[in-house]
Chains A and B, each alone.
Chain A
Amino acid sequence: MSLVFYAWGQIDFILLLLASTLMNYGLGLWVDRSENPANRKLAVAVAVSINIGLLAVFKYADFVVSLLNSALNLAGLAPVHAPHVPLPIGISFFTFHALSYVIDVYRRKWKATTNPRDVALYIFFFPQLIAGPILRWSSIGPQLVQRTVSRDVFADGIRRFVGGLAKKVLIANTVALPADQIFSLPANELSTPDAWFGILCYTLQIYFDFSGYSDMAVGMGKMFGFTFMENFNFPYLAQSIRDFWRRWHISLSTWFRDYLYFPLGGNRVSEGRTYLNLMVVFFLCGLWHGANLTFVVWGLYHGFFLVLERTRIGKMQEQLPRPFRHFYTILAVMMGWVIFRANTFGAAGNYFHALFLPGHLPAAQPLARYVTNETLCAIAFGILFSGPLWSWIKTRYAKLAQALPAPDRPVVLVPASVFEILLIVILLLASSAWLAGGTYNPFIYFRF
């Protein structure tokens, strides 16, 4: 089923990815069965090299050639001609799953499987294949041996799935249209109000799109009896960039922490080396998101803030009142999204100019063109549900019920259950209707 799902999106590389899966299966067995530490190291080094090599060829070859040609052009030399390599969908997720498989086996966190189907299911499992969360073999391996599907867990899966679908379709897609329209405006048409509205929409789009996909994956995982790692924890409530990365794309940040930052020495080395480690990790984190220098700079931008927060400035920032800490973080994150979303540095520069240097632009697109009732509604819900409003309501309600004598509790609990089921039905129907009737459903992970 997972293979059909992948082939439906892109069939060209299915055999290559299957071959890579088989190779990782074999390398996992080699790592697992080697008693000699040198052999084990060799096996894991081969596995890491091949997986990173595949990623380098398919995702970064074009990028490296274009960088090289820019340098050759500056030097007045003839450019290098290399064939264009198409990008297999989800190769970054695929590679990180494969790496986690061999490295977790190497670290003896979980044994290698003798059944190649288990490796294929771990890597290709359709709910998380193209947009995460990034799974760990040490977490999924045991679940492949034994997992239970219960009615309660299945129902929880439905709640997560429908919630995620609504986040993606009703909020992210709605704010995506003005965000895309505004980010494609040339400098002379981009006014300051347009630019702030555009970045607000994009900030909500990327969170609700990505966390919506993650919720759907976690929900579907539950329906099949799997427990996936949580990928988001209300990142826009973060009080610092360090806090943001504990809440945003958690499966990626912890992957980099466990498989790169810690092996580099983490923060158990000198202060200067820790800073360097952070910058290396965030350089690669940026590059993971796409083969473009804007992503690299976005990663380094976050790395810079993380280093800054470890210095005296960070200590001062911690002393600030909570609203200021939050304002600093959300502003830094939003400015980061400008770099992330812009296709070129020139476009990012124009956008920053529009954000902070208002001027008279006769050709500016009127903001009224983009502000619709539906968008405003999506923004309002987006801001409300960027925090744990729903779980707060549920907790308060549960406490209210607990405070009642046991025989009276159904008076409160039955309407709540009926309301929840109705809400889920409405969200599912509305999301399906918006998908059927709407024409705008962007997929923003094609570069991952």
Chain B
Amino acid sequence: MTRAPTSSILRRRANVCLIIVFLGLLWMPTLDTFLHFDHSDPPGEKRQPPEFPKIKPGLGGLKEFIAGLDAYFNDHFGCRKSLIRVYRTGRSRLFNDRKGYRSVVIGSDGWFYYTEDQMVEHYRGILLFTPDQLHDWQTLLEHQRDWLGQRGIKFVFVVVPDKHSIYPEYLPSWMKKVGSETKLSQFFAYMKAHSTVDVLDLRQTLKEARQLAPT
């Protein structure tokens, strides 16, 4: 009887080890679901995790149930807390990135700025109103002011400024303004020149208030 070459035996042993390790890792989340051995800190998400969905009749109900189950699973699968911790620690230690997030950019001193809804483009002054759009805003606000006025209600229009405008010094260096105008400055200038609607510009007040309470 000939003996199998050493390399084949080693390969076979390595394969058995690999299978055991892989299946072990694959079962970890399921085991954690029942045994709760993942004691990592919760990821600190400021939202309520979805509850287990209820089954409702009909195809629509079934679709809703599947979507609900998907959302429930995504927030409750085993070892999630550890995996998120590995992701956060790994990403910050390996790459030390301040960019590459879909919804925020990270400025200096760990300041976060929202980037969805074209906030960056608004701040940089890339997106501006057309004269027609400004006129539409005027018409809309005057209509609302008059409608409320007929009912004895005073109308004041307030735009809450974005964090980018009030704390621009912490923005990443690449976020430079294209010009001096933004949609908001256009809006205030237009309303001041063309309308009697009370519009409240909080930007200067908030900037001054920073000296009293910086953040």
B-binding residues in A (CB < 8 A): 7-8, 11-12, 151-152, 154-155, 158-159, 162, 174, 177-178, 188-189, 362-363, 366, 368-375, 377, 401, 406-407, 409-410, 413-414, 417, 420-421, 424-425, 428-430, 432-440
Chain B 63-85 interface mask (CB, 8 Å, partner A; 1/0): 10010001000000100100110
Complex-state Cα separation, A7 to B66, whole angstroms: 9
Task: Determine whether the beta carbon of A369 is less than 8 Å from that of B99.
Answer: yes
Decide: A363 near B178, CB < 8 A? Known: A189-B126, A372-B95, A373-B97. yes
* Max chain B C-beta neighbours (<10 A), residue from A7, A154, A407: A154
Q: Are A158 and B174 in contact (CB under 8 A)?
A: no
Assess the B6–A410 pair: CB atoms within 8 A: yes
B103 with A421: CB separation less than 8 A: no
* 4 nearest A-B pairs in the assembled complex, by CB-CB distance: A437-B87, A155-B15, A417-B14, A436-B83
Residue interface bits B10-23, CB-to-A below 8 A is 1, else 0: 11111111110110
The smallest C-beta distance from A278 to any residue of chain B, in angstroms, reads 41
Contact A439 B100 (CB under 8 A): no
Name 20 A/B residue pairs within 8 A (Cβ), A-sorted.
A151-B15, A152-B11, A155-B16, A177-B102, A368-B99, A372-B95, A372-B99, A373-B95, A406-B6, A410-B6, A413-B10, A417-B10, A420-B14, A428-B22, A428-B25, A433-B83, A433-B86, A435-B83, A436-B80, A439-B101
Question: With A375-B100, A410-B10, A439-B103 known to touch, is A11 a contact of B66 (CB < 8 Å)?
Answer: yes
In-complex Cβ contact of A152 among B12, B70, B121, B176 (8 A):
B12
Q: Total A-B residue pairs with C-beta atoms closer than 8 Å?
A: 131
Pair A424/B66 contact, Cβ less than 8 Å? no
Contact A424 B18 (CB under 8 A): yes
Q: Are A152 and B59 in contact (CB under 8 A)?
A: no
Contact in complex: A421, B14 (CB < 8 Å): yes
- Is the CB–CB distance between A374 and B19 below 8 Å? no
A151 lies within 8 A of B19 (CB): yes
- Which of A362, A414, A424 lies in contact with B22, CB distance below 8 A? A424
A8-B66, A428-B25 known; A158+B95 contact, CB < 8 A: no
Q: Contact: A406 with B5, CB < 8 Å?
A: yes
In the bound complex, do residue B25 and residue A368 qualify as a contact, i.e. CB atoms below 8 Å apart?
Answer: no
Query: Using Cβ atoms and an 8 Å threshold, which residues of chain B touch A158?
Result: 18-19, 22
- Asked if B2 lies at the interface with its beta carbon under 8 angstroms from chain A, I say no
Residues of B within 8 Å of A436, CB to CB, are: 77, 80, 83-84, 87
A438, B70: Cα distance in complex, Å: 16
- Whether the Cβ atoms of B7 and A413 lie closer than 8 Å is yes
Q: How far is the CB of B209 from chain A (nearest CB, A)?
A: 30
Max chain B C-beta neighbours (<10 A), residue from A8, A177, A368, A369: A369
A14, B3: Cα distance in complex, Å: 53
Shortest CB-to-CB span from B124 to chain A, Å, is: 7
B180 within 8 A of A: no
Q: Which B residues lie within 8 Å of A11 (CB)? A: 59, 62-63, 66
Q: Is B215 an interface residue (CB 8 A)?
A: no
Q: Cα distance A178–B99 when bound, in Å? A: 10
Is the Cβ of A151 less than 8 Å from the Cβ of B12?
yes
B90 within 8 A of A: yes
CA distance A369 to B115 in the complex (A): 11
| Docked-complex contact A177 and B100, CB < 8 angstroms | yes
Known: A370-B99, A372-B100, A414-B10. A425 touches B25 (CB 8 A): yes
- Pair B25/A366 contact, Cβ less than 8 Å: no
Alpha-carbon distance between A371 and B172 when the two chains are bound, in angstroms:
13
Q: Does B88 contact A (CB under 8 A)?
A: yes
Residues of B within 8 A of A373 (CB): 94-97
The verdict on A421 contacting B124 (CB below 8 Å), with A152-B12, A410-B10, A440-B102 known, is no
Q: Does B54 contact A (CB under 8 A)?
A: no
Residues on the A chain within 8 Å of B172, using CB: 368
Alpha-carbon gap, A413 to B11, bound state (A): 9
Report the bound CA distance from A389 to B43 in whole Å: 37
CB B35 to nearest CB in A, in angstroms, measures 18
Task: Write out the residue numbers on chain A whose beta carbons fall within 8 Å of the beta carbon of B15.
Answer: 151-152, 154-155
In the assembly, what is the distance between CA of A152 and CA of B18, in Å? Answer: 10
Q: Could you say which of A8, A424, A429 contacts B86, with CB atoms under 8 Å apart? A: A429
Contacts beyond the supplied A155-B14, A440-B102: 6 A-B pairs with Cβ under 8 Å = A12-B59, A154-B19, A372-B95, A421-B14, A430-B90, A436-B83
Contacts of B70 in A (CB 8 A): 8
Tell me if B207 counts as interface (CB < 8 A to partner A): no
* CB of A162 to closest CB in B, whole Å: 8
Given A406-B6, A414-B10, A437-B84, A374 and B66 contact (CB-CB distance below 8 Å): no
Quote the shortest CB–CB distance from B212 to chain A (angstroms).
Answer: 33
Residues of A within 8 A of B100 (CB): 174, 177-178, 372, 374-375
